[in-house]
Amino acid sequence: MSSFAPLSKGDGSNDAAQYTKFDAADAEFFKGIGTIPFKPDAGPTETLVYKHYNAKEVVRGKTMEEWLRFSVCFWHTFRGTGADPFGFPTLVRPWDDGSNTMENAKRRLRAGFEFFTKLGVKYWTFHDRDIAPEGETLAETNKNLDEITDLALELQKKTGVKLLWATCNLFAHPRYMNGAASNPDAHILAYAGAQVKKGLEIAKKLGAENFVFWGGREGYHTILNTNVLTELTNMANFFRMAADYKKKIGFTGTLLIEPKPKEPTKHQYDYDAMTVIGFLKHFKLENEFKLNIEPNHTTLAGHGYEHDIVMASAFGLLGSVDSNTGSPDLGWDTDQFPMDVKNATLVMKTIIEQNGLQPGGLNFDCKVRRESTALADMFISHIGAMDTFARGLRNAAKILEEGVMTKHVKKYIMDNGNPTACSGQQEHCEAMLNYYV
């Protein structure tokens, strides 16, 4: 989310007409790109087709679509500009004039639904502030949200695309610089509460299947100005109020907390899966919340790609996945599209073992690189990641069907029950895994 305006083309074509032509009811945003077909025999240069993701193909009793429950995130894909701390926006979207107007917000939304439909993805996700501009007052902001969610509801009905989850942006506005739920200023805490109240109401209106909390500013930069137990207790109280309000309004979606160790804060309280599980159990919230795991956050916490997914699932608390990847040689949240088949196989093995993610899904919290400036790159990136997870699903199904790897773990315990030094056979296990990927 950036206040930078998209690049001007510099050729005089950035006049109002360039954008308002997209206001027409029959306007097409992605001209030249149709519904993405399944083409298993496609060659390596054909990247606008699915070579592995075949939505209706049945794998272990469910269709690929049912296992994978892919979702497009609105913030990166329709609000990302390519700006980074060192450079201005690079991504020009012909319908987006960079303004904070409702007209622009509506154009983006309609572009979004055309994109979801052409891609063949059945779910989307958003932050409140991605879809509707923040007004001068809370009342004005909420009115904007009402108007935009009317349009979203209409587009959902028309296309059959559903809302995997909604969330509140409690981190971008300066009022939240010292936190939202954990902010020591009661006025700010109350503001955050009002924002979440509205967030839950629009989630209900749009039939969201989940609701996410990511506490980007809930943590500290220096322990010298922070009382950690007070802040954690305030956070727990905030979550309890959200769970109570969910019940009060009859919203049935699952509440999810998304761990991340750092960035933007130096230390984020929801460090990783086990930290959140411990927090939920300590404050007796484990029956109200599950976890939304993002592997790029897991690797930032110093764990292997699949670690948090496996840990959350082991405790029955894996609710959904923000399916992305970091760059193993970089230490920050690069939010890349997941293209590693071995990682996808390990994730899908855990998901099959818990019999699916529903009502969660695989949400692509990913952004195209700032150098990937073509509109087609928006499609190619999602298709590549969907094919990766389709391959991961097939591989994991084969691993479980053949049972060689799972039997190996059981057999090892039976054969080596005595506490004598014996081989853990890691390389043997890795070689077996490589057989499947």
Q: Contact residues for ligand XUL (CB under 6 A)?
A: 127, 167, 212, 214, 258, 260, 294, 322, 333, 365
Residues 6+ apart with CB under 8 A from 289: 239, 243, 255, 256, 257, 280, 317
Element (H, E) at 164: strand 162-167
Q: Which one of ligand XUL, Co ion, none is in contact with 387 (Cβ closer than 5 to 8 A by kind)?
A: none
> Which range binds Co ion by CB under 5 A, 5-13, 319-327, 372-380, 428-436?
319-327
Q: Which one of ligand XUL, Co ion, none is in contact with 167 (Cβ closer than 5 to 8 A by kind)?
A: ligand XUL
Q: How far is the CB of 362 from Co ion (least distance, A)?
A: 12
Q: In this structure, what are the phi and psi dihedrals at residue 219, rounded to the nearest 5 degrees?
A: 170, -155
Name the one residue in this structure whose structure tokens are 């009811």: 25
Q: How far is the CB of 200 from ligand XUL (least distance, A)?
A: 15
> Which range binds Co ion by CB under 5 A, 168-176, 183-191, 221-229, 293-301?
293-301
Is 365 among the residues that bind Co ion (CB under 5 A)? yes
> Which range binds Co ion by CB under 5 A, 44-52, 174-182, 348-356, 364-372?
364-372
Q: Which one of ligand XUL, Co ion, none is in contact with 308 (Cβ closer than 5 to 8 A by kind)?
A: none
Is 294 among the residues that bind Co ion (CB under 5 A)? yes
Element (H, E) at 63: strand 62-63
Element (H, E) at 220: strand 219-220
Is 322 among the residues that bind Co ion (CB under 5 A)? yes
Comparison of 321 and 352: residue with beta carbon closer to ligand XUL:
321
Q: Which one of Co ion, ligand XUL, none is in contact with 231 (Cβ closer than 5 to 8 A by kind)?
A: none
Q: How far is the CB of 297 from ligand XUL (least distance, A)?
A: 6
User: Token pair for residue 237?
Assistant: 């109280």
User: What is the distance between the alpha carbons of residues 91 and 94, in angstroms, rounded to a whole number?
Assistant: 10
Is 333 among the residues that bind Co ion (CB under 5 A)? no
Task: Please confirm, yes or no, whether 127 is among the known catalytic residues.
Answer: yes
Is 387 among the residues that bind Co ion (CB under 5 A)? no
Q: How far is the CB of 291 from ligand XUL (least distance, A)?
A: 12
Helices within 315-374 (DSSP H only): 341-353
Residue nearest to ligand XUL (CB): 214
Q: Nearest to residue 215, comparing CAs of 157, 263, 270?
A: 270
Q: How many residues bind Co ion (CB under 5 A)?
A: 3
Q: With contact defined as beta carbons under 8 Å apart, do 98 and 5 qualify?
A: yes
Angular region, 268: left φ>0, alpha ψ -120 to 50, beta rest:
beta
Vertex 288 angle, CA 127 and 247, to 5°: 75
Comparison of 110 and 260: residue with beta carbon closer to Co ion:
260
User: Torsion angle, CA of 299/303/307/312, rounded to 10 degrees?
Assistant: -90
> Which range binds Co ion by CB under 5 A, 37-45, 315-323, 384-392, 413-421?
315-323
Is 218 among the residues that bind Co ion (CB under 5 A)? no
Comparison of 97 and 270: residue with beta carbon closer to ligand XUL:
270
The residue type found at 166 is A
Q: How far is the CB of 50 from Co ion (least distance, A)?
A: 24
Q: With contact defined as beta carbons under 8 Å apart, do 285 and 241 qualify?
A: no
Comparison of 272 and 322: residue with beta carbon closer to Co ion:
322
Q: How far is the CB of 404 from Co ion (least distance, A)?
A: 34
Q: With contact defined as beta carbons under 8 Å apart, do 38 and 50 qualify?
A: yes
Residues 6+ apart with CB under 8 A from 152: 109, 131, 163, 206
Instruction: Please give the biggest Cα pair distance in the chain.
Output: 78
Comparison of 50 and 239: residue with beta carbon closer to Co ion:
239
User: Token pair for residue 126?
Assistant: 């958003």
Q: How far is the CB of 212 from ligand XUL (least distance, A)?
A: 6
Q: Which one of Co ion, ligand XUL, none is in contact with 260 (Cβ closer than 5 to 8 A by kind)?
A: ligand XUL
DSSP code of 50? B
Q: With contact defined as beta carbons under 8 Å apart, do 298 and 324 qualify?
A: no
Element (H, E) at 322: strand 318-322
What is the Cα Rg of the chain in Å?
22
Identified catalytic residue from 127, 297, 303, 382: 127
Comparison of 81 and 292: residue with beta carbon closer to Co ion:
292
Q: How far is the CB of 303 from ligand XUL (least distance, A)?
A: 16
Question: Within 10 Å of residue 24's Cβ, how many Cβ atoms?
Answer: 8
Comparison of 294 and 306: residue with beta carbon closer to ligand XUL:
294
Comparison of 148 and 180: residue with beta carbon closer to ligand XUL:
180
List interacting residues with Co ion (CB under 5 A).
294, 322, 365
Catalytic residue ranges: 127
